[in-house]
A and B are shown apart, each in its own frame.
Chain A
């Protein structure tokens, strides 16, 4: 479980996060949605320790990540898997080497154990035939899947996905969403997805948190998403013409 308590963050005079608090349960896909510039990615980075919030707490199963010493932080980090918006694959390594990298750096497993684990993860994301290709030789959707494989190779307890569908076509987006949902259910991971993709919200939004101007304005799920009376949320959801016409 991940608990965030009163997270605030400003950059200069601009307040990006104004006291966000919430809890995210394991075995559930938790979505954080909102328009561009509302602080979603900054909140994610505060949770994974890439940005230090001005105040607040981030608790991983009761352990305060921000006040932990470096060894405890390392332990918590090794329980995380992160899928970045651009996949963040290492250019100089093959697909296999990218997925194996956390095992090489963070475990003492034998070569055969690592090979088996990497193969399992690549099969899981459907890329067992692309193992020896370089990141520059694969498509955007394949990069995302490699990113997911690398994020889960260490059997994480927490999975963070920063806009996993950005730049993908609708069909590939659905496949990525389904993969995230399956992995969350199968491994009972606490999954947090940053997105503004409507389809993701409807498909995998077991819990949805809507941020607006750095504040949490609404919380619900895919069933209640289209039934709220929060004006800003409705403006966000029905910004898309297709959805507006379907709603009418």
Chain B
């Protein structure tokens, strides 16, 4: 429990005694490149295959001849937008981005680079971590939008190539009974997940003490704690926004 309390105290330090805005703008841009551009490949790969698998598995389970085939596309669309794109993408990013943040900050901590910032009168948590949080909140939704698109496209390619659904049926299913609120829900979740992943990972790395072993443990803890926070927040938000 004290660790959770320290986490909230840590969040408060991010916004105190900040440096000038021009410093943050440059840092945020760098982090956006690292977090956003650097994650495009893995997000694209994972989600394209997830969409393909969802389509084929849905078709496999849809044995009732009275159910039209365009339902396959509807299921792929809704499961992608509501759950698979935001949650799965953020879990993948917790592994990639979260472990990177924790490892980087942990290494800076044990090599006294953070102390060097502090003795210069710079708020190290604000300088090092706030740009990562802002960049995550900006880039994660863009990655999820791309992920959703590629997932649906993956479903289209897999479904049509395997013959379980025709292109016309797939497009018809995508358009059937579409609720735009799903996108709002998806992006809201993503912003919350981005904040959780970046701050939890940063907290783990920033509070490391010890050596390389502890940095490794912090990196692992960053990923596991982020994943737990994601699924917990997912449930809460689903209850709040969809019921």
A residues whose Cβ falls under 8 Å from a Cβ of B: 48-50, 70, 73-75, 77-78, 80, 82, 84-86, 88-91, 101-102, 104-106
Q: List 15 A-B contacts (CB under 8 A).
A: A50-B119, A74-B121, A75-B121, A77-B119, A77-B120, A77-B121, A84-B115, A84-B116, A88-B113, A88-B115, A90-B113, A91-B108, A101-B120, A102-B120, A105-B120
Chain B 199-239 per-residue mask, 1 if CB under 8 angstroms from chain A, else 0: 00000000000000000000000000000000000000000
Contact assessment for B112 and A88 in the assembled complex, using a CB-CB cutoff below 8 Å: yes
Enumerate chain B residues within 8 angstroms of A74, measured Cβ to Cβ: 121
Enumerate chain A residues within 8 angstroms of B113, measured Cβ to Cβ: 88-91
**Minimum-distance CB pairs A-B, first 5:** A77-B121, A88-B112, A74-B121, A88-B116, A84-B112
Contact assessment for A106 and B120 in the assembled complex, using a CB-CB cutoff below 8 Å: yes
Interface size on B, residues (CB 8 A): 15
Distance in angstroms from B130 CB to nearest chain A CB is 14
Residue of A nearest to B118 (CB): A50
Contact assessment for B119 and A49 in the assembled complex, using a CB-CB cutoff below 8 Å: yes
Question: Which of B108, B113, B118, B120 gathers most chain A CB within 10 Å?
Answer: B120
Residue of B nearest to A90 (CB): B113
Enumerate chain A residues within 8 angstroms of B19, measured Cβ to Cβ: 105
The residue from B17, B108, B118, B122 contacting A105, defined by CB atoms under 8 A apart: B122
Residue of B nearest to A85 (CB): B112
Distance in angstroms from A110 CB to nearest chain B CB is 15
Residue of A nearest to B20 (CB): A105
Distance A105 CA – B17 CA, assembled complex (angstroms): 13
Contact assessment for A73 and B119 in the assembled complex, using a CB-CB cutoff below 8 Å: no
B23 at the interface (CB under 8 A from A): yes
Enumerate chain B residues within 8 angstroms of A73, measured Cβ to Cβ: 121
Contact assessment for A86 and B111 in the assembled complex, using a CB-CB cutoff below 8 Å: yes
The residue from A80, A85, A86, A89 contacting B119, defined by CB atoms under 8 A apart: A80
Chain B 57-80 per-residue mask, 1 if CB under 8 angstroms from chain A, else 0: 000000000000000000000000
Contact assessment for B111 and A106 in the assembled complex, using a CB-CB cutoff below 8 Å: no
Residue of B nearest to A162 (CB): B112
Distance in angstroms from B167 CB to nearest chain A CB is 48
Enumerate chain B residues within 8 angstroms of A89, measured Cβ to Cβ: 113
Enumerate chain A residues within 8 angstroms of B118, measured Cβ to Cβ: 49-50
Distance in angstroms from A78 CB to nearest chain B CB is 5
On whether A50 and B115 interact (CB within 8 A), knowing A70-B17, A105-B19, A105-B23, the answer reads: yes
Distance A85 CA – B108 CA, assembled complex (angstroms): 14
Distance A80 CA – B131 CA, assembled complex (angstroms): 27
Enumerate chain A residues within 8 angstroms of B23, measured Cβ to Cβ: 104-105
The residue from A78, A86, A104, A105 contacting B112, defined by CB atoms under 8 A apart: A86
Distance A75 CA – B181 CA, assembled complex (angstroms): 52
Distance A91 CA – B128 CA, assembled complex (angstroms): 13
Distance A49 CA – B118 CA, assembled complex (angstroms): 9
Distance in angstroms from A239 CB to nearest chain B CB is 27
Distance A102 CA – B23 CA, assembled complex (angstroms): 13
Enumerate chain A residues within 8 angstroms of B107, measured Cβ to Cβ: 91
Distance A70 CA – B23 CA, assembled complex (angstroms): 20
Enumerate chain B residues within 8 angstroms of A102, measured Cβ to Cβ: 120
Enumerate chain A residues within 8 angstroms of B115, measured Cβ to Cβ: 50, 84, 88
Chain B 143-165 per-residue mask, 1 if CB under 8 angstroms from chain A, else 0: 00000000000000000000000
Distance A101 CA – B113 CA, assembled complex (angstroms): 12
**Which residues 110-148 of B have a CB within 8 angstroms of A?**
111-113, 115-116, 118-122
**Which residues 73-118 of B have a CB within 8 angstroms of A?**
107-108, 111-113, 115-116, 118
Distance A120 CA – B17 CA, assembled complex (angstroms): 31
Distance A49 CA – B121 CA, assembled complex (angstroms): 10
